[in-house]
Structure 1
Amino acid sequence: MNRRSWIRNTGLLTAASITGPATNAGHVADKPVLKIAHITDVHIREGDDAPNRFKKCLADVLKHKPDFFLNGGDSIHAADYKDVTRDTMLGYWKLWDECTANLKGYEIHSCIGNHDPWWAAPSKEDEMYGKNYVVKRLKTPGRYYSFTKKNWHFVILDGNNEHVSLDDEQYQWLEADLAKLAPETFVLLMSHYPILGATPMLAGGGGHSDYKKLKNLFYKHRDKVRICLSGHQHLQDHTEYNGIQYCCNGAMSGFWWGKGDAESAAPNYYQETPPGFAMLELYADGKVTNAYYPHAY
């Protein structure tokens, strides 16, 4: 049985892949105010026909007619390894630009993944060293930032700090950012790493070490905070705690565009999670659905 047939037969290409509590499953009478595509862990590189496969994935995402994209990091394959040359790193970013060229007219709001920064530069003064160059290539306002659309506020975090956490400056900014929001404003947060969930127990790399600190902050603003998105683990998981959804939305690259290993449930899977992307629907009353869509490329 080929992989596409396996996915079809298991029902993973149907609406049954929608995550979230049953109370969030149906809003026939009202329409979402925003539809958002969440892609993460693209790990774009040469080989395994990854660029063409990624372009086909993006074409599928566009069929859902998203209002904009959230990109969860690890956009490029692995610039963080010690032996990565400048040319290799620049080649990855060139592929990223080429593959996303068809998204002109769509906003892409990205966060930094652990594999995106190039640390092998000859000095820290090199313009391509570290996270600042990633910010430049992804065209983001900074390594962390926020923006508002409709009555939804989006917070993009940088967990690439000591022990996978928010640095003090960023945490103080986040406290102030949430505190100033008007009533009836709802919040979606995105970090490359899971803040809460099952995936840190199932895959290496783990999640935020400051999860209790963040959990306490979110509880203080439980009238606003609705959902936290992540990637990094290449696993798909939905956890709800204190009324907040935590969705780790797999990986566009699956098993890094490779065939898989002994733990892969099917070709290109990482453990039991197929490669894919998520679509979110956000409502004016704070309701949100998160649907994971496997792809067969």
Structure 2
Amino acid sequence: MNRKEFIKLGTLGAVSLTFRPSAHAVSPTRKSNITFGVITDLHHDIMHDGQKRLEAFLGDMKEQQPDFIIQLGDFCVPKPANQPLLDAWNTFSGDKHHVIGNHDTDGGFSKDQVVEFWEAKGNYYSFDKNGFHFVVLDGNEHNESSDRPKGYARYISPSQMDWLVDDLQKTNLPSIVCCHQGLDNERYGIENGMAVRYLLETANTNAGFQKVILVLSGHHHQDYFNKINDIHYVQINSASYYWLGDQYKTVRYSEQVDENYPWIKYTAPYKDPLWATITIASNGKINIKGKKSSFVGPSPKQMGVADNKDVYPIVPYISTRKLS
């Protein structure tokens, strides 16, 4: 099990992005904005307090009452012992959406089993809400090439690419794409990320307006933002930790916790759970408000971990950004 593919994310702040609204993309019946809650990389099967972290997110969402919530993968494997986590997730009365992560099939489970257990709409699908179009991708498909990278599958197949082209052709709404692995991150991100990005850019060119405005990902447990050919790529931090690996393993809670949850010692956990609330307005503003925490025990910097170990800084938050 190649746990070194874990990376990190962060969350605090408000990210203000802009896109060019099109007259074709504005429905007279749609609300002036849409708000949704995002959590990712809970890793309930690794963290001893995964349920409490999710419940903190859900408590905040029940107060905010967003239009929907979504988790971006690495949530939990589909085993009966995880049913209480799903029961908690389902206490949110509004719309709920899932993205499959690479660790959600750990232990030999299939993606079909994950979809059934979560009661998800599929391993990839799309939906409309308040005059916006949302696309959920499955970044866990296998590249049949003999020279594919080792480790977890992280690929968008030709058949899914064909589906994505058709899906985007059928909508004139401003579109948001969600994928567990980053399309803009060459380090453990989607293998053919460049091809997928070009597909999104082509959809914008063919539409004659900025149709695809935002791409959200998890997986990398880091705090970064990229703008590539007028599309915003935002990384949402893990709700739980940054993965350090065998070289830096440290017992951070107790011997009993470590015995029951042996993978935690390979991580730098965040003291508080992280998530984000995203609001997209019809005037082109995108605001991302996140959470800030600190590390449990010594920080990676205190342990001598290079700040650029995975290119982007290792932090337990999402920075405040104003981007256009």
Q: Give the TM-score normalised by the residue count of structure 2.
A: 0.66
Q: Do the aligned residues in 1 keep the contact of 2:73 with 2:180 (CA within 8 Å)?
A: yes
Does residue 19 of the first structure (1) align with residue 15 of the second (2)?
yes
In structure 2, give the amino acid aligned to 1:278.
A
Counterpart secondary structure, 2:80 = helix
CA distance in 2, matches of 1:263, 1:117: 20
CA distance in 2, matches of 1:53, 1:141: 24
Q: Do the aligned residues in 1 keep the contact of 2:182 with 2:219 (CA within 8 Å)?
A: yes
Alignment partner, residue 110 of structure 1: 98
Counterpart secondary structure, 1:162 = coil
Counterpart secondary structure, 1:159 = coil
CA distance in 2, matches of 1:42, 1:61: 16
Counterpart secondary structure, 1:166 = coil
In structure 1, give the amino acid aligned to 2:290.
Y
When the two chains are superposed, the root-mean-square deviation of aligned CA atoms in Å is: 3.0
CA shift for structure 1 position 286: 4.2
In structure 1, give the amino acid aligned to 2:176.
L
Higher RCO structure (Cα 8 Å, ≥6 apart): 2
Q: Do the aligned residues in 1 keep the contact of 2:37 with 2:61 (CA within 8 Å)?
A: yes
Alignment partner, residue 294 of structure 1: 292
Out of 240, 251, 262, the residue aligned to residue 227 of structure 2 is 240
CA distance in 1, matches of 2:163, 2:103: 25
Alignment partner, residue 159 of structure 1: 139
CA distance in 1, matches of 2:47, 2:212: 40
Alignment of 1:165-244 (within 5 A): 165-182=155-172, 185-197=173-185, 201=187, 206-222=188-204, 223-244=210-231
Q: Do the aligned residues in 2 keep the contact of 1:278 with 1:292 (CA within 8 Å)?
A: yes
CA distance in 1, matches of 2:138, 2:98: 10
Counterpart secondary structure, 1:209 = coil
Higher mean alpha-carbon deviation, 54-63 vs 157-166, is at 54-63
Give percent identity, aligned residues only: 26
In structure 1, give the amino acid aligned to 2:226.
T
Q: Do the aligned residues in 2 keep the contact of 1:226 with 1:286 (CA within 8 Å)?
A: no
CA distance in 1, matches of 2:224, 2:155: 20
The 1:254–1:291 alpha-carbon spacing in structure 2 relative to 1, beyond 3 Å, is same
Alignment partner, residue 281 of structure 1: 279
The 1:181–1:101 alpha-carbon spacing in structure 2 relative to 1, beyond 3 Å, is closer
Q: Give the TM-score normalised by the residue count of structure 1.
A: 0.72
Alignment partner, residue 97 of structure 1: 86
CA distance in 1, matches of 2:229, 2:56: 38
CA shift for structure 1 position 169: 1.3
Q: Which runs of 5+ in 1 are unaligned?
A: 1-11, 25-30, 80-85, 121-128
CA shift for structure 1 position 252: 1.2
The 1:275–1:32 alpha-carbon spacing in structure 2 relative to 1, beyond 3 Å, is farther
Q: Which runs of 5+ in 2 are unaligned?
A: 1-9, 20-30, 144-153, 205-209, 244-250, 253-263, 297-324
CA shift for structure 1 position 292: 2.2
CA distance in 2, matches of 1:261, 1:118: 19
Out of 121, 124, 129, the residue aligned to residue 149 of structure 1 is 129
